Amino acid sequence: MSSPAADLARRLARNAEAVCRHYLSNGHREGRYWLVGDVANTRGRSLFVRLSGPDHGKGAAGKWTDAATGEHGDLLDLICLNRGLNRLRDALDEARAFLALPPDQIAPRQDRLPAPRGSPQSARRLYAMSRPITGTLAQTYLHSRGIVTVPDGDPLRFHPRCYYRPDEASPTETWPALIAAVTDLGGRITGVHRTWLDRSGQDKAPIDSPRRAMGHLLGHGVRFGVADDVIAAGEGIETMLSLRSVLPTLPMVAALSANHLAALLLPTTLRRLYIARDADPAGDAATASLCNRAEAAGIEVGSLLPCFDDFNEDLRRLGVERLRASLRRQLAPQDIVRFLGLATAATG
């Protein structure tokens, strides 16, 4: 028996050109194919959709491939990526709404219009269009920074051709990018952080500002693990991933800047907060502000201090074991047992 998704994909394929004209309006038809830049409807020719063919199997109508990224799928997959939909149910609802009207009567609804640049909606779409980092340049980059383990549940993804524009007067460029989801306390994506990468993956891209965030950021952060009674908070993603290399079960959040760290919203269940400090005046001020708010809420506060400028430098220069020893001296006794383990607590 066919699934609802398979049935809808076949119905979309029978109207493939109408689907393309609606969702990929910046493309054009050439023979049996629709050509466009990518699933986000960028102008170009690297993505091609087959407009005619059998219902299934080799050469089926509605099948698409992006030659630049290797992404492929059917028209239901394309709609999901194009609209930034995270759930299959939402993709099915979108497809049903599209198919309810004849192709010549389809008009853009307000929620189908392009998301405002820099908005949370735009951030969610970018995150949905990105892929897991395993085997990508994002993983190569993190390895070059000494971060060799990133759990599958962490909010990190990779986009092979993420837009970058130095300023309003400059043309848009595309670079590979590490994408991190910024979420609120309820887990809803409110923004993303982009780290554009060199095409070798060994360093950040050679551009003026290789790190930028978009969306609603104030009070929110990039969250690793589920916060309960104890968390660690700091500024940078690489700082927190470096700590996570040693304390993988301690929930953490990267606020992305000193000002945002000072304004970070804290869970009501929190009883102890560790602040991973950057060794600079901005880091000192952010720590003091967050510490005052936490203590006023009855939360115990501790500092985690790097030996060098930040914890990523500690990880690369000291290695995992020496960094673990440094952190052991800074954790509360009960957290040594809880997050570093009994064997570590009994030695050193």
Shared domain check, 205 and 230: no
Range from 118-127, 142-151, 157-166, 177-186 carrying the lowest mean pLDDT: 118-127
**Residue 56 within any structural domain of the chain:** yes
Range from 89-93, 187-191, 226-230, 259-263 carrying the lowest mean pLDDT: 89-93
Q: Counting Cβ atoms within 10 Å, is residue 127 exposed (0-12), middle (13-18) or buried (19+)?
A: buried
pLDDT surpassing 90 at residue 214:
yes
Single residue among 73, 106, 139 that ends a domain in this structure: 106
Q: What's the pLDDT score for residue 346?
A: 37
Arithmetic mean of pLDDT, 146-150? 93
Shared domain check, 160 and 92: no
What pTM did the predictor assign? 0.70
Q: Could you tell me what percent of the chain has a pLDDT over 90?
A: 59
| Torsion region of 99: left, alpha or beta (phi above 0 gives left; psi -120 to 50 gives alpha) | alpha
Shared domain check, 87 and 133: no
**Residue 111 within any structural domain of the chain:** no
Query: Between 53 and 331, whose confidence is greater?
Result: 331
Task: Residue 294: give the domain boundaries.
Answer: 221-348
Arithmetic mean of pLDDT, 273-281? 87
pLDDT surpassing 50 at residue 55:
yes
Shared domain check, 264 and 206: no
> For the chain, what is the total number of helices (H) and then of strands (E)?
12, 15
**Residue 112 within any structural domain of the chain:** no
pLDDT surpassing 50 at residue 345:
no
Q: What's the pLDDT score for residue 341?
A: 72
Shared domain check, 169 and 60: no
Shared domain check, 238 and 178: no
Single residue among 106, 135, 165 that ends a domain in this structure: 106
Q: What's the pLDDT score for residue 93?
A: 84
Shared domain check, 138 and 95: no
Shared domain check, 39 and 142: no
Range from 71-85, 90-104, 125-139, 331-345 carrying the lowest mean pLDDT: 90-104
CB half-sphere exposure, 266, CA atoms < 13 A: 29
Q: What's the pLDDT score for residue 114?
A: 56
The 10s digit of each residue's pLDDT in 292-325 is 999 999 999 999 999 998 999 999 999 999 999 9
pLDDT tier at 343, thresholds 50, 70, 90: very low
Q: What is the CATH number of the domain that holds 14?
A: 3.90.580
Shared domain check, 150 and 84: no
Q: Could you tell me what percent of the chain has a pLDDT over 70?
A: 93
pLDDT surpassing 80 at residue 96:
yes
Arithmetic mean of pLDDT, 114-128? 80
**Distance from the first to the final alpha carbon of the chain:** 61
**Residue 9 within any structural domain of the chain:** yes
**Residue 241 within any structural domain of the chain:** yes
Tokens, residue 118: 């820099």
pLDDT surpassing 60 at residue 86:
yes
**Residue 177 within any structural domain of the chain:** yes
Shared domain check, 304 and 329: yes
Q: How many structural domains comprise the chain?
A: 3
Q: What's the pLDDT score for residue 107?
A: 40
230/269 Cα distance (integer angstroms):
9
